[in-house]
Structure 1
Amino acid sequence: MTDQLTAELLDLALEAASRAGALLRDGRPADLGVAATKSSSVDVVTEMDLASEKLITDFLAEHRPEDGLLGEEGSATEGTSGVQWVIDPLDGTVNYLYGLPSWCVSIAARKDGETVVGVVDAPMRGEVYRATLGGGAHVGDRALRVRPAPPLEKTLLGTGFGYLAERRAHQADVVRALITEVRDIRRGGSAAIDLCDVAAGRLDGYYERGLNPWDYAAGDLVAREAGAATGGRPGAPVSTELTVAAPPGLFEPLQARLEELGAWHD
């Protein structure tokens, strides 16, 4: 992985995310409705999710036609270059549908299976988070750094919930147990933004079951490059089964408690 390639991938991710973010911010129709559903009737896709993914994939294919693509709304090509783009064209769709500001565009680039570039563009915040593997994490010109690890009982946690009723029921059980053991719990509605909020020190930690690679790929790199430890179950990497992010010293007891509570299963 050369510095030149990293810089090229970062520039393309920033430009694609900026264009998509502007489309979503400025092009949202007043009568926006649900275009389709996925895992359940409340797991929605809007016409703007689809338009954003098309804009991003067309842009990346124009500039790097040999790269692979993996997008939330169905874009999937293998590629031959060893580079794969992992795209969430609108993370926080329900927020966007309701006119809430916590949504973003998330774009990561992987080289030979390892995430090397991550960009999370949150237009309604006016913030663009970016990270490169080994190069640190930034929002605008400011370097990001996680908060010092607090004890678990003084932790402000972020989390999210799935769209299947059975999964939500168990996730509620986990929250019910944790809420008396930590400072408080926030549910923002965008996994990518939550991971960036850990990086920026706005959350002490974050966990969620059921994320897909496009949900966490960019935000995970931003968090790690800001000093967070990330993973899934003990000894396992971040995955759909479980995603945990927190500063070292908090990560370990949080991960252990989530394991005890069975946060990794429905």
Structure 2
Amino acid sequence: MTKLVIFDLDGTLLNTVEDLGNATNYALKTLGYPQREIEEYKILCGRGIANLLKDALPEDARTDEVRARMANLFFPYYREHINDCTVPYDGIIPMLDRLAAEGIRFALASNKYQEGAERLIGRFFGKYGFATILGQREGYPIKPDPAIVDQILADNPDISRDEVVYVGDSNVDMMTGNNARVRTIGVTWGFRSREELAAHNPWKLIDTPADLAEAILGPLGDRVERLVRRASAIMRQKNFEIHTKGGDVANLCTSADIGVQHFLYDGLSALIPGSGFLGEEEDMTDMDHDYVWIVDPIDGTANFARGIAECAISVGLKHGGDIVLGIVYNPFREELFRAEKGKGAYLNGKRIHVSGRSFKASLFCCALCVYKKEYAQICNDIIMEVYPHCSDVRRFGSAALELCYLANGTIELFFEYRLMPWDYAAASLIVEEAGGVLTGRGGSKLIYDRPLLVVGANTRENHDKLCSIVTSHTSENPYD
């Protein structure tokens, strides 16, 4: 998943060729050398100003003395006329707006001299707050040496190399990205040809800024994950208000729950226009759609309100009758569980599976129906029947996380007497894709529009044994 995009400048974000060409022609003319056509500068640019000035001269004039005189003329002229004709390419601003709206970070790696790079970014792209702006600096190698990308990564230590995309328009850029071992995209609207870019085997070749945004944002799962991670910033804030629902001191809601849900509602609705939304807070129920987001902004609010780290954001996407995408993220432990239908389950990008433990060796995760305490005795009876035949009992205080722990082999058995759809929707897919079994009472198929009794296990054998015990203690619809 992409978190940082490193852009080249000239020929990628900005069409600078006319101002660069005019400044170079001014120096050539002043020294009595023939001027070049502006189109020629698309080939001459890309390897730094020193090489541009050298290559613009006739071959018999390329001495150090002449190049120094060229530079003395070029820089004052270019500084004064740096953006006379320079403009962003069509579609660049909407592309950057779209990436910024989804939390993508930007950096610049250019062979333009540092002062010029900073001026142009400030002039045209200042609102985006580029994390790092690096141009040609004395004592530092120029592209295609990967040192410039390495420095940007050092300046952004929270981002790994595989979360970076490098974007440029020349062979130099393709070599830079490849040398730095990051995914490299060649854009064809700039100074060089598609054939030149393709010769260096970039990750992708892109023809329009709109297509570039699509390539960077990636599949829907990546976009939802970025949104969830951004929403977690609201959970990390120190000050929040705590309220009870209906006066029930066991059923809490915080201002952070409300803030996360509003943030996710806006972001998720934009990802799939016309989608429905079912959220725990503020009676946000709109299920009559082909696609429906099912969201618990903070599962484990009681833990969250007390500073206990077992709490998470849970986002499931229902298509028809099935959950097709599930993400459960605990920002305090930096654990993100994710699954897409038919694609496996993952924890922080690594494939996870349920354990193979027997019923006797299993950890049993269950609760006493905290919001419907009249059923506590039934839950206790189930626990007491299971307990002698399993390893031990656990309770973490977040159903979504407990189900994820079933998915990654931490526990093997799960039972809750009454869960709401937002408690289990996302995690149900994660369990399924990890090889586990999760059903309603009596092995019935999960549904996502009402409360359910939920039974889960690592294997079908263990599930059926637990399910039989649960069914023997419960009536047909104990959760209404």
Q: TM-score, normalised by structure 2?
A: 0.51
Letter matched to residue 28 of structure 1: K
Q: Which structure has more RCO (C-alpha within 8 Å, separation ≥ 6)?
A: 1
Q: Partners of 1:149 and 1:252 in 2: how far apart? A: 15
2:285 to 62, 73, 76: 76
Please identify which structure carries the higher helix content. 2
1:236 aligns with 2:444: yes
Q: Partners of 1:37 and 1:182 in 2: how far apart? A: 36
Deviates further, 168-177 or 196-205: 168-177
Note the alpha carbon deviations across 1:41-90, whole angstroms, 9 max, x for none: 3211111111110111011223333111110112223465x211000000
The residue number in structure 2 matching 1:54 is 262
1:10-159 matched pairs, under 5 angstroms: 10-25=221-236, 27-29=237-239, 32-38=240-246, 40-73=248-281, 74-78=283-287, 80=289, 82-150=290-358, 152-159=359-366
Letter matched to residue 61 of structure 1: S
Deviates further, 165-174 or 107-116: 165-174
The residue number in structure 1 matching 2:470 is 258
Q: Which has the larger radius of gyration?
A: 2
User: Matched residue pairs, number?
Assistant: 256
Distance 1:199 1:88, change over 3 A: same
Letter matched to residue 77 of structure 1: D
Distance 1:19 1:38, change over 3 A: farther
Q: Partners of 1:111 and 1:141 in 2: how far apart? A: 24
2:439 and 2:456 in contact (8 A); partners too: yes
Letter matched to residue 128 of structure 1: L
1:197-236 matched pairs, under 5 angstroms: 197-236=405-444
Q: Partners of 2:455 and 2:398 in 1: how far apart? A: 15
Give the drift of 1:138: 0.4
Letter matched to residue 265 of structure 1: P
2:443 and 2:467 in contact (8 A); partners too: no
Distance 1:38 1:258, change over 3 A: same
Note the alpha carbon deviations across 1:146-202, whole angstroms, 9 max, x for none: 00141x232211112331220223322322332223211101000110110011100
Q: Partners of 1:153 and 1:222 in 2: how far apart? A: 24
Q: Partners of 2:238 and 2:219 in 1: how far apart? A: 30
Deviates further, 32-41 or 187-196: 32-41
Q: Partners of 1:158 and 1:57 in 2: how far apart? A: 31
Letter matched to residue 249 of structure 2: S
Distance 1:169 1:34, change over 3 A: farther
Task: Classify the secondary structure of the residue corresponding to 2:441.
Answer: coil
Note the alpha carbon deviations across 1:229-256, whole angstroms, 9 max, x for none: 1111224123533111112221111111
Task: Classify the secondary structure of the residue corresponding to 1:209.
Answer: strand
Q: Which runs of 5+ in 1 are unaligned?
A: none
The residue number in structure 1 matching 2:209 is none
Distance 1:84 1:39, change over 3 A: farther
Q: Partners of 2:235 and 2:435 in 1: how far apart? A: 31
Percent identity over the alignment is 28
Deviates further, 11-20 or 224-233: 11-20
Letter matched to residue 246 of structure 1: A
1:137 and 1:144 in contact (8 A); partners too: yes
Q: Which runs of 5+ in 2 are unaligned?
A: 1-214
Letter matched to residue 153 of structure 1: K
